[in-house]
Structure 1
Amino acid sequence: MPFLVPVSPDCGKPQQLNRVVGGEDSTDAQWPWIVSILKNGSHHCAGSLLTNRWVVTAAHCFRSNIDKPSQFSVLLGAWKLGNPGPRSQKVGIAWVLPHPKYSSKERTHADIALVRLEHPIHFSERILPICLPDSSVRLPPNTDCWIAGWGSIQDGVPLPHPQTLQKLKVPIIDSELCKSLYWRGAGQEAITEDMLCAGYLEGERDACLGDSGGPLMCQVDDHWLLSGIISWGEGCAERNRPGVYTSLLAHRSWVQRIVQGVQLRGHLADSGNTGSS
C-alpha cells in the first residue's frame, strides 16, 4: 500500500521509510523539507520547504544574482545528491525575495530570502514542509538542535560522491557569549539581534561551505521547527568560532506576511497564550 500524503500535510513530521564537518550520514527521508538550490545545475546552497510553492534560504546565496532566477533551480526529495533518484523533483525558481534589510555588500543581519517556485510541487514521504516556531518558542542555551546539508566536510574538501546528506547535532550557544567571541570592538556588532549561534566552542563539528541556507532544526513536542538558517561563521569548525544562523524567531512575521499557508508550531503550555500567534 503506497504511502498517501495529504494535499497539505502536517509540517515538521517526517514520514519515515522502513557531510557537515564531523557529521554523519542522515537516513533517507529523515529531513524531507531540505532542498538543494542548484546554480547552473550544480549544488550551490540548501533551503527549507515551507509550502508547496515556497522555500526559505539565506539571502547571501543569491548576492548579485537576485534578478537572474533562471540560473537557479531547486531539487527536492534528494538524499544522495549524486543519485537523487526518480522520486526527487526539480523545479525552476520564479523569483527570489531577499529580506528588505539585507545588504549584499557587507556581512549583515537579515540574511534570509524567500524563493517562489515556478509551479507547486507534489508532497510525498520524501518532500514535506517544515514548521516555523510560534511566539511561544524559546531556545535556551544548550538546547540540542540539528543541522543538515551537502556542504564541504572540511575547509576545501567537498562531500564525496554520492554526496549523502550529512547531519549534525548542535547545541544553542548563549547569545551574549557568542557576541563576545565575535566581538570586533565598539560599534561593530558582528552578532545582531536576529542571529542565533549554535555549535561547539572546541570546533571540530560545524556547518561549512555549501551548507549555507540550510536549516537549523529544533524538535518541539513532536514537530520539527525551522529555528534558524545557516548563515555564516569564520572558517569551518574552528575553535571559538561557532556557526551563526539567521533566527526565524526574529523573522517569522515577515515570512508569514508573504508565504500563504506556512504552518506554525510550538508549545503554548508555559506561555499562558491560548491563541496562535
Structure 2
Amino acid sequence: WALTAAHCFEEESDLSDPSGWTIQFGQLTSMPSFWSLQAYYTRYFVSNIYLSPRYLGNSPYDIALVKLSAPVTYTNHIQPICLQASTFEFQNRTDCWVTGWGNIKEDEALPSPYTLQEVQVAIINNSMCNYLFFKYSFRTDIFGDMVCAGDAQGEKDSCFGDSGGPLACNKNGLWYQIGVVSWGVGCGRR
C-alpha cells in the first residue's frame, strides 16, 4: 500500500482502471540515469486507488490509499513507515520532515539531476495555524483532518510538485507518516 493525496488523481475521470499507474520506491532522483535504473528502486503496478469517500475535490479529506499489485520488497533503501492511531497527535513544534521533487522556490523548478529534496518543518497546532492564516489574510479553513506544518520564519516549506509526498516525524527512533502534502500558500512564505 501507498498513502498519498487524493487531489493527485483529480484529472482522472475513471479510477476503476488503475493499470496505467505505477509507484516507485527507493528512488532518489526523479529522472535516474540508465546505469542506475535498477540500482536502488523498484517499480510496482497499481491494482486499486481508493480516494477518501469524504473527499469532494477540495482540501478536506485530501487523502488516498493506493493498493499495489504485489507486496513491496524491503531493502536498505526501501523501508516501511509506521502509522499512528488516528487519535494520536504530535505535540506542537515537533520537528518533522517533508520530502519531494517539487519546485525549490515558487518560480524555480528543481534543477537537474532532480535529487529528492527534504525539509524540516515544525508541527503547528490547528488553532495557531488558523490564527496565523487569518493574520496574514490567507485561507482560514484548517479542518480537523488536517495537520499543519511549517516554519515561522518562512523559507522552509513544501512547494508545487510535492503533492502527495509524506509528512514524517521521528519518535523514539521510529519514523511515522502523519500526513501527506496537500496544499499551502505559495512556497515558504511567511
Shorter-chain TM band: 0.7 to 0.9
> Could you say what secondary structure the match of 1:179 adopts?
helix
Amino acid corresponding to residue 80 of structure 1 in structure 2 = T
**Structure 1 residue 234 displacement after superposition:** 1.3
Give the match for residue 96 of structure 1: 49
Stretches of structure 1 lacking an aligned partner (at least 5 in a row): 1-53, 240-277
Kept in 1, the 8 Å contact 2:59–2:183? The answer is: no
Alpha-carbon offset, residue 136 of structure 1? 7.5
Q: Structure 1 residue aligned with 2:37, among 75, 79, 85?
A: 85
Computed over aligned residues only, the root mean square deviation of the Cα atoms, in angstroms, reads: 2.0
Aligned to 2:5: 58
2:171 paired residue number: 220
Cα deviations by residue, 1:189-222 (Å, 9 ceiling, x for unpaired): 6110111111113321110111111111111111
Say whether the 8 Å CA contact 1:183–1:190 is kept in structure 2. no
Taking the aligned partners of 2:181 and 2:145, their CA distance within structure 1 comes to 13
Q: Residues 70 and 217 (structure 1 numbering): CA distance in 2 closer, same or farther, change over 3 Å?
A: same
Instruction: Please tell me whether the aligned partners of residues 76 and 88 of structure 1 are also in contact (alpha carbons under 8 angstroms).
Output: yes
Percent identical residues: 39
Deviation at 1:55, TM superposition (A): 0.4
Q: How does 1:1-277 map to 2 (within 5 A)?
A: 54-65=1-12, 67=15, 68-83=17-32, 85-86=37-38, 87-104=40-57, 107-134=58-85, 137-183=88-134, 190-239=141-190
For residues 135 and 178 of structure 1, what CA distance do their matches in structure 2 show?
A: 20
Q: Which moved more, 1:68-77 or 1:90-99?
A: 68-77
> What residue identity is the alignment partner of 1:212?
S
Looking at structure 2, the residues matched to 77 and 94 of structure 1 have their Cα atoms a distance apart, in angstroms, of 20
Q: What TM-score, normalized by structure 2, do the two folds share? A: 0.87
For 2:95 and 2:31, the matched residues in 1 are separated by 30
Deviations 1:217-266, CA, capped at 9 Å, x for gaps: 11111100011111110111111xxxxxxxxxxxxxxxxxxxxxxxxxxx
CA distance, structure 2, for counterparts of residue 71 and residue 157 of structure 1 = 29
Could you tell me whether the CA contact under 8 Å between 1:150 and 1:165 is conserved in 2? yes
> 1:151, 1:196 → 2: CA distance?
20
Compared CA separation, residues 195 and 132, structure 1 to 2 (3 A): same
CA shift, 1:82, in A, is: 2.0
Aligned length: 181
